[in-house]
Structure 1
Amino acid sequence: MTARPRILVREAARDGISVLIVDGVLDSSTYLALRDRIVKAALDGPPAVVVNVSALRTPTASAYAVFSSARWQVSRWPDVPVLLVCGHATGRDALRRQGITRYVPVYGSLDAALAALDGIDGRLRQRRCAELAPGREGVKHARELITEWLWDWGYASKIKIANAIATELVDNVRAHTDSGVAELRVESRGSEVTIAVSDRSARLATRIESAYGTFRLSGLHLVAALADAWGCTPSSSGKTVWATIA
């Protein structure tokens, strides 16, 4: 019996940048695992994620779309740049032919990729995280933490809206998942504040449209009304629902 192809990902760090070194076969059975691994690295909030694919074997070139898919998942938040490194011209040419480099740049070496990052947005990203119980106590705890953190960071004017968003996101974990815990993440970058809540359910958060073309009123409608942008990012352990206040 032939063993299923596997993707092996080793993570390292270079100057604070997350570096993923990938080995194995990229095909339909490993596509999602690699995408989710890249997304997870980005959600951890490094300045950038560099993926070294020099040893990656890809029987079907279209599978390279995994890299543009991963970048799309994190393009609005946390908006972490994703770069590729491929040490051989054959792989770089294949990535270009598939159109991947329009969204995810590719370089011939890690040093070249890191040098290209010198021009990225250097605005300070502040971040705090906490684990919450997904019930009313969790909501209360989240509001207390958000008030404290945003006050300390100088975003007092955003506390009321941030607390309203967090209330809905944390309460949705209790109402719509079996996840025993939720993780609250609060970030500030420039003039933006982002509230994110992660849980261990793979069920994506969506606004439900009725058969008559109108939306049912739900917490996510309030989130969408209060936030400048919101979304739901799947991961290998569940999902993260986030909302940004600009």
Structure 2
Amino acid sequence: MPGIETGEHQHRCVLPFVALPTEVRLLRRAAAAQLDQWGMPAAGDEASLLVTELATNVIKHVGEGTLATLILEWKRERLRVEMHDKSSALPAPRGADCDAECGRGLHLIAAMAADWGAVVTTLGKAVWCEIELGSEAACRRVERAVETLESYRGKGGVVLEGRRREADLEESAIELIADLLHWTSARGLDPDDVLDRAQMHYEAEAA
């Protein structure tokens, strides 16, 4: 899988690939290696999850064997991840019910990313997302976690206060972690390995 970095100081990498399940792992590794080269290994796990989800969506919704392109771009305090494919049909979030696992893809991307979107291009479309780097990332992680947990289990607009709210957020966190472990297992990842890597990133950022 060839990678093209467009200039020593531009921090932009283009990774063409064939949308096949066997290629997703290679694409994930290539992205992690590029982030290591740029000196931002701490962003590797979060970026890998986004790359996996975006590539899997191409396989599911555009078709196996489709030619696609992943673009990584380091933009100051953010890392931009773009997935280009030949379909001009823009994705739309669906209800996150248990029978539509792939429908959770955009919900996961929206929860993890600081910003995301999709645009029609001359050759099809690009789905992009950005994750924050640097000193603001930890604060954004906490804010993002609260936003996600408050809406995760769907309370029908009920607003809780005080200890009831904290207890509800804790319960939602447990459910979310359990669901993510199911997701990692369904993607062929080792849940224990993912938990260990998440713990390592937490400890590194907390320090």
TM-score for the superposition, normalised by structure 1: 0.46
Match of 1:131 in 2: 16
Q: 1:205 to 1:217 in 2, by over 3 A?
A: closer
Misfit runs of 4+, over 6 Å: none
Q: Secondary structure at the match of 1:236?
A: coil
Q: Among 78, 85, 97, which residue is 1:192 paired with?
A: 78
Q: 1:237 to 1:217 in 2, by over 3 A?
A: closer
How many percent identity over aligned positions? 28
- Between the two proteins, the alignment pairs up a number of residues equal to 120
The offset of 1:126, in angstroms, is 1.0
Q: Is the 8 A contact 1:177 1:201 kept in 2?
A: yes
Matches within 5 A, 1:97-246: 125-178=10-63, 180-209=66-95, 217-246=103-132
Q: Is the 8 A contact 1:132 1:141 kept in 2?
A: no
Match of 2:155 in 1: none
Q: Is the 8 A contact 1:202 1:238 kept in 2?
A: yes
Question: 5+ unaligned residues in a row in structure 2: which ranges?
Answer: 1-5, 97-101, 133-207
Q: Secondary structure at the match of 2:58?
A: helix
Alpha-carbon deviations, 1:151-197, whole Å to 9, x = none? 11111111000000000000000101147111010110212111111
Distance in structure 2 (CA, Å) of the matches to 1:166 and 1:149: 13
Please tell me the residue identity of whatever aligns with 2:13.
R
The offset of 1:137, in angstroms, is 2.0
Please tell me the residue identity of whatever aligns with 2:23.
G
Q: Which has the higher strand share?
A: 1
Distance in structure 2 (CA, Å) of the matches to 1:157 and 1:151: 9
The offset of 1:139, in angstroms, is 1.1
Q: Is the 8 A contact 2:95 2:103 kept in 1?
A: no
TM-score for the superposition, normalised by structure 2: 0.54
Please tell me the residue identity of whatever aligns with 1:146.
A
Q: Which has the higher helix share?
A: 2
The offset of 1:209, in angstroms, is 4.3
Distance in structure 2 (CA, Å) of the matches to 1:208 and 1:182: 23
Alpha-carbon deviations, 1:196-236, whole Å to 9, x = none? 110000111111248xxxxx842111111111111101111
Rg larger for: 1
Q: Secondary structure at the match of 1:244?
A: strand
Question: 5+ unaligned residues in a row in structure 1: which ranges?
Answer: 1-45, 47-123, 211-215
Please tell me the residue identity of whatever aligns with 1:129.
V
